[in-house]
Amino acid sequence: MKSPICDLLGIEFPLIAFTHCRDVVVEVTKAGGFGVLGAAGYNAETLEIELSWIDEHIDGMPYGVDLIAPTSMAITDDNNTPEHIESMIPREHQDFAANILAQHNIDTADVYADQRAGAGGFLTKGKAASIIDVAFSHPIKLIANALGVPPQYMLDLGKERGVAVAALVGAKEHAAKQVEAGVDVLVVAGTEAGGHCGEVSTMVLVPEVCQYIEGSGVPVLAAGGIIKGRQMAASMAMGASGVWTGSMWLTTTEAETSPVIKEKYVQASSRQTVRSQARTGKYSRQLRSPWTDAWESEEAPRPLPMPLQSLVSEAPLAKVTKLAEGGHEGARQLATSFVGQGVGLIEAIQDTRTVVREFMEDYLAAVERMSATLEE
């Protein structure tokens, strides 16, 4: 297929799959797309293990890595200790989270116990360099920064090693800064996207950015709510060179998503997501549940800056997911995770290669429909 993204990455079809599951990375790439491992939360050692496994199973085919190396964090290299980090979290926030669990008959006595032991694991500037080094020690074809302008170290290594550097943007103004910084690919994510997202819809943001950076030579990947091939056809009609997808892989058989969450995704409508700061401290879209409703109430404390809010939310939600898998009814109600509005288009749990094949077929059918409108 003709696309600047296909030429840049050496792939057949410009379907980029962001996923935290290494199996999905391999299966998407082998099916003709391009798998990207979401490495947020990994340290250098665990990332090395995951990428080595991919190298052993992907048969030399291309893949990428997505990191979160934001330019501003409440935690720095100087204060990244469990004791200091815990002192930065108001007791009010932890008590509020624990109360939500208690209202759903969940014991909260040890909810933060495991987290305190590993509270110093966030990606500060010093740690980011070691993670980036690990990524570049593998035969990746693309590395993406999920928040803000990529570190100069990442940009320099990308040029030196011939690895494309991508950045996610949610506003036209952000796109200009990324192009000026020297990124090779823009992932333009509308508010429909799961995880961190902006306020503008994909249908508006993609053509707005494409027009704004016209002539720069930087290709655009459309993102946000994209589940079907017809949406890729629409995105390319608006100027994109391909699509960046995430939510559609969460319900594949290979995905490590909790079975309880998978079931909720399949049953959910596109209206059952919420954009909130309560999960990470930055606006992110997730499945709506009594947990998210509580944090959106007037009684909820103001979310803390990233990554402190994650230290409030992740431990309770991890416990919720574990209990939900064991059949705890209150936990099943509370269970939530990141997902985009496109969740309403997910109809079943399928293997990854089937998802890719059906996406390609839907894209081709959409292109044929558009071509038919030009026939006399």
Evaluate if residue 117 carries a pLDDT over 50.
no
Question: Per residue in 350-360, pLDDT tens?
Answer: 999 999 999 99
HSE on the CB side for 342, CA within 13 Å? 28
Q: What is the DSSP string of 228-277?
A: SHHHHHHHHHTT-SEEEE-GGGTTBTT----HHHHHHHHH--TTSEEEES
| pLDDT of the residue at 76 | 55
Evaluate if residue 123 carries a pLDDT over 60.
no
Evaluate if residue 83 carries a pLDDT over 90.
no
Report, as an integer, the average pLDDT of 192-217. 96
pLDDT band at 228 (very low <50, low <70, confident <90, very high): very high
Structure tokens at 301: 């404390």
| pLDDT of the residue at 120 | 41
Report, as an integer, the average pLDDT of 321-349. 97
Domains of the chain and CATH, by start: 4-74+122-249 (3.20.20.70), 82-120+257-334 (no CATH)
Angle at 293 between CA 289 and CA 296, to 5 degrees: 145
Q: What is the DSSP string of 1-17?
A: ---HHHHHHT-SS-EEE
- CA separation for the pair 308, 89 (Å, rounded): 7
Which of residues 165 and 147 earns the better pLDDT score? Answer: 165
Mean pLDDT score across all residues of the chain = 92
Question: Per residue in 230-264, pLDDT tens?
Answer: 999 999 999 999 999 999 999 999 999 999 999 99
| pLDDT of the residue at 306 | 84
Evaluate if residue 8 carries a pLDDT over 60.
yes
Evaluate if residue 73 carries a pLDDT over 60.
no
| pLDDT of the residue at 329 | 97
Structure tokens at 296: 């959106």
Report, as an integer, the average pLDDT of 177-197. 97
- CA separation for the pair 44, 26 (Å, rounded): 21
pLDDT band at 127 (very low <50, low <70, confident <90, very high): confident
- CA separation for the pair 250, 359 (Å, rounded): 15
Which of the 8 DSSP states describes residue 66? Answer: E
pLDDT band at 77 (very low <50, low <70, confident <90, very high): low
**Listed range (105-114, 121-130, 336-345, 361-370) with the worst mean pLDDT:** 121-130
| pLDDT of the residue at 68 | 83
Report, as an integer, the average pLDDT of 52-74. 86
pLDDT band at 203 (very low <50, low <70, confident <90, very high): very high
Percentage with pLDDT > 70 across the chain: 93
Percentage with pLDDT > 90 across the chain: 84
pLDDT band at 84 (very low <50, low <70, confident <90, very high): confident
| pLDDT of the residue at 80 | 60
Report, as an integer, the average pLDDT of 90-116. 90
| pLDDT of the residue at 124 | 60
